[in-house]
Each structure stands twice: as structure tokens, then as C-alpha cells.
Amino acid sequence: MRKRRRGSIALTLLCAMALLSAPGALAGTAFAAPEPQQGKSLEQVRKEIEGLYREAGTATDAFNLAESETKTQSDKIVEIANLVLAGQDRITALKGRAGAAARAQYRSGGLPPGAQLALSNDPTQFLDGNDRLRQGEKATSDLLSELNRTQTDLQQYARDASAHWETLEANRVKQEAAKKQVEDKIKAAEELESKLEAEQKARLLELEAEAQRKAQNDWLSTGGMTGSTGAAATDAGKRAVQFATAQMGKPYVWGAEGPGSFDCSGLTSQAWLAAGKRIPRTSQEQLRLPKVAVKDMRPGDLIIYFDDASHVGMYVGDGAMIHAPRPGRNVTMAGAGSMPIKAVVRPDA
């Protein structure tokens, strides 16, 4: 038994020595890490994990949009509530005026003072009374019109509040659904990564970096920056880039807008807010900003990635951008062409 065990240990040591003596082994490129799952290469697992995080990114954008719309609807409901209170106070005041007029009429025997003067035999008093009577009728008519108008406004406010409440609830449902999808996708990706051994995780990082370098080189070789004017950033663009650069190393957290963590559009929207420009919260909404040609990019411009506009980074010059990549990664700098570019937009166009 001991002989067999010693033989097994010796064989293991020989295999290890053979691997370590292979060219480039110390660099981690001369041997393949053990397969994480039967029938799947580490590259296939990388792509699967990347796909899950991409789907999580799309769901994060949906969550952020629903959250933003929910806040908008909440603000509108509060605004309507304030209008309702003001309208109710106005009606109370108008009814008070109408009551005061009715009491005065009662005290004068059922006729307003103007009417009593209008019935006078004195021509001067008659004309004066007739004029007052007309003024009183107009004041009463105006009061009733204002009362009706205010009541109509209150009815419209009630309808508006009901509509905004329905939208608010619909957005909350969307928000919860998107939140669950984000969490499910991230959990699935994390479970895949958790099955990897330490050397596989290290190799996974290398594969990610290799894929990004290849995409960047392919983009550059196809003329991605050909004809670039190398335009200088505006003052606001410089401030946005400075803010984004200062966040490097902070973790990606979906739905986060800082200060300790960010998601991709949280980083870009906060960077431009720091530069004095409020822009939409999500990458899909940021896509609606004024577009510029890739060759005309200048620092501070935003690069929208993928067909569904589910990711965004900020161009910083020299073919590079800063972005918050995905859960498990930190805000970092990468090649502007390391992912498929959908459009370039300019917040301060």
C-alpha cells in the first residue's frame, strides 16, 4: 500500500516538474487549466459568464429606468397633492365670501344694498344703486365661476393623480421584475465562477484581457480611429473625465450611482453631473443624446456599446475609455473598441 502511494506521489511530482519545465509555463500560457465543467472549455465558460453579465446589464438598465420613472411619478403625485390642498383652501375661501354675501343680504331684508338704492325714487340714488347692483351681480357671477373652475380643477387633479398612481404601480412591478432578473443572472454567473479553481480564475482574467485586446486591435485595424481629429475636450468634458478617472478602483454594483460604487451608466451620469450637466440615468436613455462620428470623439464623449445599448463608457482620449465593467470588477480603463460600439454621444454638444 505504501509503495503504491509513494509511486503515485512520485508520478505526480514528475508530472508537475514536466509542466513547470515547459516553455512559458511560469507565464501561465503553456498549459490548459483543468476543465471547469465536463465538455466545456474555460473559454466557453468565459463566454457563458460574459453572456450572463451582459443580460444582467440589460436588466440593470431596465431597473434603473423603472426606478427613475417611479421617482418621476412619485414627484408628480406629490405635486398634485399640493395643488389639491391649494384648491381646497381656495374653495373654502370662496365659500366664505359667498356666505358673507348671503348673510349681508339677509340682514338687509333679502335685498342687497344696491337693489334697495335702485328702487329709490331719488334719481341720483337710483342711478347709483343701479350701478352697484350691476357690480354686485358681476361679483357674484365671478365668484360662482371661480368656484366652479376650482372644483373642475380638483376633479382633473383627482383624475391625474389616479393616472400617475397607476403608472407608478406599473413601474414598481417592472422594477421588481428587473431586480429579480438582475439578481438571478448575477447569481448564475457567480455560481459558474465559484466552481473554478484558483488557477482557472487567474486564467479567466487572462482570457478576458486577451479578448479585449483582440477586439481593440481588430477595431483599430479596421480604421476605428482613422481620420480622428484628436479634438480637445471642453472644460466640462475635462471635469467629467477627471471625475470618472478619480473613481477608478471602485467596485461595480448594479443600480449604484456612487460615491463608493457605480454601475456603468451611474458612473457616466454622475461624472457629467459633477461637470455641471445633468444627463439621463441609463445607457439606453443616454443613447438619445446628440451623436457624433467615432472619428470625431473627444474626451468626455460617451460610447454606447452593444445593439441593445446596455453598456456605456466615457472616452478619455488616445483610443481609451473608462467604464464600470460588471459585478466582480472595478471601475477601470479599457480600449474604446474592446466591445462592439453602437454609437458615440456628446452630452455637451
Q: What pLDDT is recorded for position 151? A: 79
Please determine, for residue 68, whether its predicted confidence score (pLDDT) is greater than 60: yes
Residues 45-59 pLDDT 10s: 889 998 999 899 888
What is this structure's pTM? 0.66
User: What pLDDT does residue 339 have?
Assistant: 94
Q: Residue 113: which pLDDT band, with cuts at 50, 70 and 90?
A: low
pLDDT given for residue 263 in this prediction? 95
pLDDT for the residue 33: 42
Closest CA to 208 of 30, 26, 42, 38: 42
Q: Where are the beta strands (DSSP E) in the chain?
A: 291-292, 302-305, 311-317, 320-323, 332-335, 341-345
Q: Are 56 and 254 in contact (CB under 8 A)?
A: yes
- In this model, does residue 340 exceed pLDDT 70? yes
Higher pLDDT, 332 or 110: 332
pLDDT score, position 120: 53
Q: Per-residue pLDDT averaged across 57-75, rounded?
A: 86
CATH number of 42-192: 1.10.287
The domains of the chain are located at 42-192, 228-345
The answer to whether residues 48 and 188 touch, using CB atoms and an 8 Å cutoff, is no
Topology (CATH) of 228-345: endopeptidase fold (from Nostoc punctiforme) (3.90.1720)
Q: Is the pLDDT of residue 255 over 70?
A: yes
Q: Looking at the annotation, which residues are catalytic? A: 264, 311, 323
254-277 average pLDDT score: 96
Mean residue pLDDT across the chain: 80
Backbone angles phi and psi of 40, in degrees to 5 = -125, 135
